[in-house]
Structure 1
Amino acid sequence: MWSLIITFFVVIAVIDVLVKGVKKAAKPTRRNTAKRKARPQRTATAKSSDHQALKKAFTPNAHTNAPALTPHRKGVAIHWTTTFLRALEWKRYEEICMEYLRIKNCMAEVTCIGADGGIDIRIKNPEGKVFAVAQCKAWSRPIGVNLIRELYGVMAAEKVKHGIFLTTSEYTPAALAFAKGKNLLLIDSDELIALINGLDDTNKKRLGDIATQGDYTTPTCVRCDTKMVRRTAKTGKNAGNEFWGCVNYPKCRIVMNIKQQ
């Protein structure tokens, strides 16, 4: 009998402890649930704001009736042309793209420079979080689908929702087809010209001054950050062909093709 009574009270005590433990565990769970519910709302707002910032940055304004002034007149709000844009060396093109983003209140920074003069840019929101990756290539040949796939892969790897590709040329049909339906924005030379010419005169002048400062057509060595020089291949299958070579050769062997205008 006594053993049954003792067992009964022990069971009651254990149940009481378990109930109290459940109650204590339940309280923070409710608080955590409230926090989890609050986060998506802030994130959704932030994502919407980021999307609007990009949409605003890459939507042309109506300032398209500016006179066709020569780009070489420093201090004048030039009317940009595709020919002028394609004449820019890769680094100057990068500076123009970066400055355009700043004009549009985008926090952008260069994170990588490729051997071909292509650059990677990360665009951050006011909280400092990267919400878009961009790549710029001052190429004369069309951008193929492989480069767009690579950009999309970077977006996935870094868990970034938006991707932007800017070029002085155009895109192949396969590249355009791949980007369709995705958060990929492909800006070709004509579209970038429309965006720049859509700026007010003050900002167009600002970009024009940056573009035409000093030598803006001779490419810069991606390794040494110095202007390259024209050289002629003396041997091999390219013998007789001209190319851009680094002034620090043979210490630096970076070369670039000469653009075909």
Structure 2
Amino acid sequence: MNFHILTLFPDMVMNGLETSIIGRAKAKGLLSIEAVNIRDYAFNKHHSVDDYPYGGGAGMLMQAEPVYLAYQAVEEKINTRRCENSAEQEEQPTGSMKREQKKLRVVYLSPQGDTFSQKMAEDLAKEEDLVLLCGHYEGIDERVLEEIVTDYVSIGDYVLTGGELPAMVMIDAISRLVPGVLHNDVSAEFESFQDNLLEYPQYSRPEVWHGKQVPPVLLSGHHKNIEAWRREQSILRTKERRPDLLEKAVLTKKEQEFLEKLSEE
């Protein structure tokens, strides 16, 4: 999967994404991450990309043209690569290279957007290329947003100084769903929010720590019982910590009865 980050602070995002699991996946070629400096597309000698907003108000606004030019450069690079890949895979008649390209998903990180979720991460992980647009100052000229943005996404109901940290959060969550990124691909399927349930509690050695014993069922070796216990614990934990998720939880009839019993208690 290929991530393209349009930002005023490329070092900030790349330094954060070159480490740990994401960094290793990038080094193996499982992910491609580039940070495009919007200042490189400024049309003045000082590389200024902001100006005062029409109508007055506090702060500065990022101008439309540098953002648009940065996006165009990324779009051209992606379309060229896609054409080259298509040409390698099949013989095409002359002129067919200019066939209609799939529209790029361009995400603008904004507190006005839909709240980022695991379901959204799963949807975006299906894309071959994802463009993340990071605003700064008081935001970006509305006209370029109307021109290029397909998705408005927020990571929470609070305001940050820019879109770089939200972009990094999204890339981390989405990358975990790309095959091969995690050492154990199965782990991505059983973490929090799977079936709209939080993850069950987990334990490691030693068997007893500070007088607290590992639940006996986990030592039994009975996989069916362990799986049933984990599902019940996920339901219990979700009810205690995020009861709002239970409205959309995927439960069997037996699990629904377990939940109803918990509610009665």
TMscore range, shorter length: under 0.3
Give the TM-score taking structure 1 as reference length: 0.25
Give the TM-score taking structure 2 as reference length: 0.25
